[in-house]
Amino acid sequence: MKNKVKVSEVGSIKNGRRRFLKLSGAAVVGSGILLMAGCSDDDDAPLPPNGIFDLGTGDLGVLNYAYALEQLEADFYTRVVNNANFRSAFSENEQEVMTDLYYHEVIHRDFFKTAIGAAVGNDESLMLPILEFDYAGLDFSNRDTVLATSQSLEDTGVRAYNGAGKLLSDPGYLLIAGKIVSVEARHASAIRNIIATGTIDGSSSSAFAGDDVIDPVTGLGQAFPPKEIIAAAGGFITTPFTYMEQGVG
């Protein structure tokens, strides 16, 4: 059962984007954060083979990669909170958590969209297009399957950002990635705990930071390269893209 929906922009974002771009000119002066490597000779995006978008190289590639993951998360939670059974499937506390995750992921997605847009001078050929998704019949009215998918996405987000940090060369971008990954980790902890204990504040389980994702010997969380992340998360993404620099495509 196909359930394909194009990600739609939230109403305020159009205005927001205009404002972002307008402000970014001034912002660049002080911060340098929005100065992109995308303009240098080394970082010219390769021509898309067969019209398939390539995420690009260097920091631009990482930003587009993060944008792809945030598009997926935002799309997923948009469907979760808009499902007709959302209020009956989840407790009030859980609804608050899922709604917060929806807010956060939409904010992350649109932040990347505007940041990348500003960084590449609004050259859409360098910016990952809006992706389409297919959840292979996932029942968004079923609490358990929604939570399991949510955990998978949040764990993936943590692994992805942890693995991508070293690919960034601009400290400003690294800081932003750091600001986001810990929020993804907070999400993962919450969803894991809901699944394990049945409540948001249950304390009977170590699953919030379980041995399956945090090495019990080293105490380290996971860090995966883009190739593995895209292989895993790509199952939900129907719009093809490549990330040649990282061996994808």
Stretch that binds other proteins, among 40-48, 53-61, 173-181, 230-238 (CB under 8 A): 173-181
Q: Which of residues 177-236 bind other proteins (CB under 8 A)?
A: 178-190, 192-193, 200-201, 203-206, 208-210, 214-223
Binding of other proteins by 14 (CB under 8 A): no
Binding of other proteins by 130 (CB under 8 A): no
Binding of other proteins by 163 (CB under 8 A): yes
Closest contact distance (angstroms) between CB of 51 and other proteins is: 30
Count of residues interacting with other proteins (CB under 8 A): 78
Which of 5, 174, 232, 244 touches other proteins (CB under 8 A)? 174
- Cα 47–chain centre separation: 25
Task: Give the whole-angstrom CA distance, residue 75 versus residue 159.
Answer: 19
- Farthest CA pair distance, the chain: 55
Beta bridge partners of 133: 5, 237
Task: Give the whole-angstrom CA distance, residue 112 versus residue 55.
Answer: 13
- Confirm if 46 and 54 have CB atoms less than 8 A apart: yes
Binding of other proteins by 239 (CB under 8 A): no
- Confirm if 95 and 206 have CB atoms less than 8 A apart: no
Residue number with CB closer to other proteins (188 or 237) = 188
- For residue 158, the one-letter residue type is V
Binding of other proteins by 69 (CB under 8 A): no
